[in-house]
C-alpha cells in the first residue's frame, strides 16, 4: 500500500498579499487596461489579486495580460450589463490555479 501524500508546504514563501474588488463600470474600450494601470499607482498598497465587476466584456474580446496582471474575464450578457474579471500578479506568496468562468458573473479558481 502507498501512503497518501499531503499538500506540499509553502511556508518558505509564506506572507501576506492584498486582495481587492472594484466596480469599474465598464472594461470596454480600454477600461480594463485603465483599471489595471490605476491599481499600480494606488500609493503604498500593491494589490496582488482583484475582482473587477461590471466589466461588460463580450465575445471573449479583452487583454489576457496587462501591467503585470494576468486576466480572466467572463462574457457579459450584453455590452450594457454584468461581467466580471479576475486579475492577479504572478507571486511566490500565492498561486491561482484552475481558474475558469462559470456563467456571466461567476469565476471559480483555487487560490
Q: Count of alpha carbons within 13 Å of 68, Cβ hemisphere only?
A: 11
CATH 3.60.10.10 fits 15-110, yes or no: yes
Q: Where are the domains of the chain?
A: 15-110
The residue among 3 and 104 whose pLDDT is bigger is: 104
The CA distance from 107 to 68, in Å, is 20
pLDDT tens-place string over residues 54-110 = 999 999 889 999 988 999 999 999 999 999 999 999 888 899 999 999 999 999 999
pLDDT tens-place string over residues 37-46 = 888 777 667 8
Of 91, 13, 15, the C-alpha closest to 49 is 91
Which DSSP state fits 96? -
* 49 DSSP β-pair partners: 19, 88
Query: Is pLDDT above 80 for 26?
Result: yes
The reply to whether the predicted model has a pTM over 0.75 is: yes
In the prediction, which pLDDT does 102 show? Answer: 93
Q: What is the mean pLDDT of residues 13-20?
A: 77
Q: What are phi and psi of 40, to 5 degrees?
A: -75, -20
In the prediction, which pLDDT does 92 show? Answer: 85
In the prediction, which pLDDT does 11 show? Answer: 54
Amino acid at each position: 500500500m502507498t501512503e497518501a501524500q499531503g499538500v506540499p508546504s509553502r511556508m518558505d514563501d509564506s506572507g501576506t498579499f492584498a486582495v481587492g474588488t472594484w466596480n469599474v463600470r465598464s472594461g470596454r474600450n480600454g477600461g480594463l487596461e485603465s483599471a489595471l494601470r490605476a491599481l499600480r499607482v494606488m500609493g503604498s498598497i500593491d494589490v496582488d489579486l482583484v475582482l473587477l465587476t461590471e466589466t461588460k466584456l463580450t465575445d471573449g474580446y479583452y487583454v489576457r495580460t496587462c501591467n503585470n496582471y494576468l486576466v480572466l474575464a467572463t462574457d457579459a450578457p450584453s455590452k450594457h450589463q454584468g461581467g466580471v474579471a479576475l486579475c492577479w500578479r504572478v507571486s511566490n506568496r500565492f498561486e491561482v490555479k484552475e481558474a475558469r468562468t462559470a456563467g456571466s458573473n461567476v469565476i471559480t479558481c483555487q487560490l
